[in-house]
Chain A
C-alpha cells in the first residue's frame, strides 16, 4: 500500500511569493496534519484536518492556510513567503481524529531566498 505522498519534494521560492504544498494520505485515512520542521529542530504543528474541517491550528501566522478535499487529500498554502519559512514541511495522516498514530510523508523541502 502507498504511504503518505507529498509533492513537490523540493521547492525554491523568493521572498514575497506564494507556495502550495500537496499531500495524499494513506488510503482510508481521514485525518491529515501538517508540521513544519526547521533544520535542527523537532516538527511543529501547523494544522489538522478531519473530514474536510479544520480541527486544530498551531501558532502560525495567517499567511499559513490549508484545506482538505473530499478525497481526503490536503493542500498547505503559504503567502508572502519569508526567509524564516524555509523548512521541511511534513504531512501526516491518521485513520481517525483521536488517539490514532501519525504516519508521515517524506516531506517537501522549501527554500526561500
Chain B
C-alpha cells in the first residue's frame, strides 16, 4: 500500500526566510504532484514532477523529485505572507491506473 508522509505538518516562518517541506513515499513511483490549498478552498495544482531529477520552479517555490530516495522537496525562498496556505504532495503508483495518494499536508504560516 502506497503511503505518503509530509513533514513538517505545521510550519511557521518569518517573511524573507527560506525553508523546505519534505515528502516521502513508500513505493516506486515517478509521478509526484504538489498542490496548494487555501482555507475553505479547493486544491490548486502547483507542480507536476514526472521523472527522477525533475526540478520545477515558479516564483518563490521550487520542487524537486528523487525517485531513488522516494523523496520530493518543496523549497520556499524568501517567504512572503501570500504563501501562507496548506501544501500537499500526492503520488500515484506505477501500476497503471492507481489513484493519487495524498500526504496529510503542511500548514504554512508566514509571519511578518
Contacts and interface: CB of A to CB of B under 8 A. Distances in A.
Interface of A: 33, 40-45, 48, 55-56, 58, 90, 97-99, 101-107, 109
- Classify the secondary structure of A's interface with B: loop
B68 interface: no
B25 interface: no
B99 A101 contact: no
A105 B37 CA distance: 12
B102 A42 contact: yes
Interface of B: 4, 31, 33, 35, 40-45, 48, 88, 90, 96-105
A39 B58 CA distance: 28
7 contacts: A33-B99, A40-B105, A42-B103, A43-B43, A56-B99, A104-B35, A106-B41
A26 to B, nearest CB: 13
Given A42-B88, A42-B104, A106-B42, A99 B99 contact: no
Nearest to A91: B42
Given A101-B48, A103-B45, 18 more contacts: A40-B104, A40-B105, A41-B104, A42-B4, A42-B88, A43-B43, A43-B102, A44-B102, A45-B100, A45-B101, A48-B97, A48-B99, A102-B100, A104-B35, A104-B42, A104-B43, A104-B45, A105-B42
A7 to B, nearest CB: 14
B6 to A, nearest CB: 8
Contacts of B104: 40-42
A40 to B, nearest CB: 8
**Best-surrounded residue of A42, A48, A105 (most CB of chain B within 10 A):** A42
A90 B97 contact: no
Nearest to A102: B100
Contacts of A97: 97
